[in-house]
Amino acid sequence: MSATDTIQREIERFVRESASNRHEDGSGPYFDEPLVGFASADDPLFVEYKRIIGSFHLTPRELFEGAFGPGTLHDGTVVVWILPIPEETRLSNRAQDRLPSKRWAHTRAFGERFNSELRRHLVAFLEASGHRAVAPLLSPLWRTVDAPPAGLASTWSERHAAYAAGLGTFGLNDGLITPRGIAHRIGSIVTDRALPPTARPYDSPRAHCLFFQGAACGACIDRCPVGALSEEGHDKALCRDHVYGTVPDETSEAYGVSEAGCGLCQTEVPCESRSPKARGRPLELR
Ligand code: B12
Work out the average pLDDT over 110-139. 98
Number of domains the chain is built from: 1
Q: Is the CB of 251 under 6 A from ligand 1?
A: no
Give the pLDDT confidence score for residue 149 in this predicted structure: 81
| C-beta of residue 186 within 8 angstroms of C-beta of residue 162 | yes
Q: Is the CB of 263 under 6 A from ligand 1?
A: yes
d(CA 147, CA 141): 17
Work out the average pLDDT over 137-144. 98
Let me know if residue 272 belongs to a domain.
no
Let me know if residue 156 belongs to a domain.
yes
CB burial class (10 A; 0-12, 13-18, 19+) of residue 99?
buried
Residue 278 has pLDDT above 50, yes or no: no
Give the atom of ligand 1 at the shortest distance from the alpha carbon of 175.
84
Nearest to 82 by CA among 182, 155, 9, 225: 182
Let me know if residue 274 belongs to a domain.
no
Give the pLDDT confidence score for residue 279 in this predicted structure: 42
Let me know if residue 284 belongs to a domain.
no
For atom 4 of ligand 1, the residue with the nearest CA is 152
Give the atom of ligand 1 at the shortest distance from the alpha carbon of 185.
90
Give the atom of ligand 1 at the shortest distance from the alpha carbon of 173.
77
d(CA 124, CA 133): 8
Give the pLDDT confidence score for residue 277 in this predicted structure: 75
Residue range 190-238, pLDDT digits in tens: 999 999 999 999 999 999 999 999 888 999 999 999 999 999 999 999 9
What pairs with residue 38 in β-bridges?
Answer: 79
Report the mean per-residue pLDDT for the chain. 95
Let me know if residue 276 belongs to a domain.
no
Percentage of residues in the chain having pLDDT higher than 70:
97
- Given ligand 1 and candidates 92, 99, 158, which is best to mutate, with the most ligand atoms within 8 Å of its CB? 158
Integer angstrom CA distances of residue 188 from 8, 27, 116, 139, 271: 12, 27, 10, 12, 23
Range of the domain at 102: 3-266
Let me know if residue 175 belongs to a domain.
yes
Let me know if residue 279 belongs to a domain.
no
Which residues, in sequence order, are CB contacts of 77 under 8 Å at separation 6+? 38, 39, 40, 41, 190, 191, 193, 194, 195, 197
Q: Is the CB of 46 under 6 A from ligand 1?
A: no
> How far does the centroid of ligand 1 lie from the alpha carbon of residue 11, in Å?
23
Q: Is the CB of 205 under 6 A from ligand 1?
A: yes
Residue range 18-72, pLDDT digits in tens: 999 999 999 999 999 999 999 999 999 999 999 999 999 999 999 999 999 999 9
Q: Is the CB of 43 under 6 A from ligand 1?
A: no
For atom 24 of ligand 1, the residue with the nearest CA is 153
Interior angle at CA 116, CA 128 and CA 56, nearest 5: 100
Give the pLDDT confidence score for residue 214 in this predicted structure: 87
Give the pLDDT confidence score for residue 53 in this predicted structure: 95
SS3 153: strand
Q: Global pTM?
A: 0.97
Let me know if residue 95 belongs to a domain.
yes
Residue 284 has pLDDT above 60, yes or no: no
Confidence of residue 262 (pLDDT cuts 50, 70, 90): very high
Residue 85 has pLDDT above 80, yes or no: yes
d(CA 28, CA 213): 36
Residue 285 has pLDDT above 50, yes or no: no
Which residues, in sequence order, are CB contacts of 281 under 8 Å at separation 6+? none
